[in-house]
């Protein structure tokens, strides 16, 4: 089975399962779509952060998947862009000050702003214009975008409560986010100990 097929079919299965799950919840189609796009965006953002440390911890198994990080990051941006479009259209009437003032939304807006810069600078021509040092510096902000979107997610997740106050999909997404943090820390410590030994 090719790597590309494996990665994209896993994302497709994730989307289908989430859609089926959302159809069982008592939300309007628009509300379900807003939540669905936000959650899949968050999943993909976490996945883009999980691949790096997996490749450090188990290079034989995961190094070959590193090439998908950029595509997964851009896909996360596109899902969140859909999430932003629907919330601005249906909740805030394109009034940005209303959106900024809404509880828990500001971290999401800041996270999206960073993701937009990351998506633009991931085009090969722009990346080579910037040079690898500047590009690397900009892409460290991926971690900031992730933390901001995690805060936004936890503040805005709205059940219905099925497990510890979250619905099952929110709970799995949050576990996935926590896994991304743990693996990032583990990868960081392994790189440091390898450097100093
Ligand atoms: C990195 C960027 C973002 C991510 C990963 C993200 C993700 C999420 C997630 C996972 C939820 C919770 C869904 C649930 O109830 O389970 C959510 C809710 C929400 N987000 Fe975002 N979001 C982002 C940016 C934004 C932006 C830019 C806006 C608005 C301008 C926004 C507005 C909202 C609103 C209003 C809700 C509540 C939806 C509802 O309960 O009906 N988000 N977001």
In whole numbers, what is the pLDDT of the chain averaged over residues?
A: 91
Q: To test the ligand 1 pocket, which listed residue (33, 114, 152, 158) has its Cβ within 8 A of the most ligand atoms?
A: 152
pLDDT of residue 187: 86
CB within 8 A of 80, min separation 6: which ones? Answer: 37, 38, 41, 45, 111, 112, 115, 149
Atom of ligand 1 nearest to the CA of 102: 35
Closest atom of ligand 1 relative to the 41 alpha carbon:
5
What is the model's pLDDT at position 86?
95
Q: What radius of gyration do the chain's Cα atoms show? A: 18
Nearest to 174 by CA among 151, 142, 144: 151
8-25 average pLDDT score = 82
Q: What pLDDT, on a 0 to 100 scale, did the predictor assign at position 154?
A: 94
Nearest ligand 1 atom to alpha carbon 145: 1
pLDDT value for 12: 84
Residues 29-33 have a mean pLDDT of: 88
What is the pTM assigned to this prediction?
A: 0.91
In sequence order, the β-bridge partners of residue 166 are 163
Q: Is the pLDDT of residue 165 over 90?
A: no
Query: Would the pLDDT of 62 be above 70?
Result: yes
Which is more confidently placed, 152 or 190?
A: 152
Of 70, 61, 42, nearest in space to 181 by CA? 42
Closest CA to 87 of 77, 72, 98: 98
- Per-residue confidence (pLDDT) for residue 37, from 0 to 100: 92
Q: Enumerate the domain spans of the chain.
A: 3-196
**104 CA distance to ligand 1 middle (Å):** 9
Q: Which residues line ligand 1 (CB under 6 A)?
A: 31, 34-35, 38-39, 41-42, 45, 80, 83-84, 87-88, 91, 99, 105, 108-109, 111-112, 115, 145, 149, 152-153, 156-158, 170
- pLDDT at position 155 over 90: yes
Q: Is the pLDDT of residue 29 over 80?
A: yes
103 φψ region: left (φ > 0), alpha (ψ -120 to 50), beta (else): beta
Q: pLDDT tens digits, residue range 89-114?
A: 999 999 999 999 999 999 999 999 99
Residue 87's pLDDT band (cuts 50, 70, 90): very high
């Amino acid at each position: 089975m090719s790597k590309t097929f494996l990665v994209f079919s896993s994302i497709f299965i994730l989307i289908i399962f989430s859609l089926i799950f959302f159809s069982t919840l008592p939300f309007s189609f628009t509300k379900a779509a807003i939540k669905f796009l936000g959650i899949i965006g968050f999943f993909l953002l976490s996945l883009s952060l999980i691949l790096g440390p997996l490749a450090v911890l188990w290079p034989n198994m995961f190094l070959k998947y590193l090439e998908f990080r950029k595509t997964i990051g851009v896909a996360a941006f596109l899902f969140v862009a859909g999430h932003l479009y629907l919330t601005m259209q249906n909740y805030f009437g394109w009034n940005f000050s209303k959106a900024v003032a809404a509880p828990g939304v500001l971290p999401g807006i800041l996270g999206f702003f960073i993701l937009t810069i990351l998506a633009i600078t991931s085009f090969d021509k722009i990346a080579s214009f910037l040079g690898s040092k500047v590009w690397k510096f900009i892409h460290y902000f991926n971690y900031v975008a992730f933390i901001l979107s995690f805060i936004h997610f936890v503040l805005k997740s709205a059940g219905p409560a099925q497990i510890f106050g979250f619905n099952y999909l929110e709970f799995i997404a949050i576990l996935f986010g926590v896994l991304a943090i743990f693996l990032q820390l583990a990868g960081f410590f392994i790189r440091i100990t390898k450097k100093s030994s």
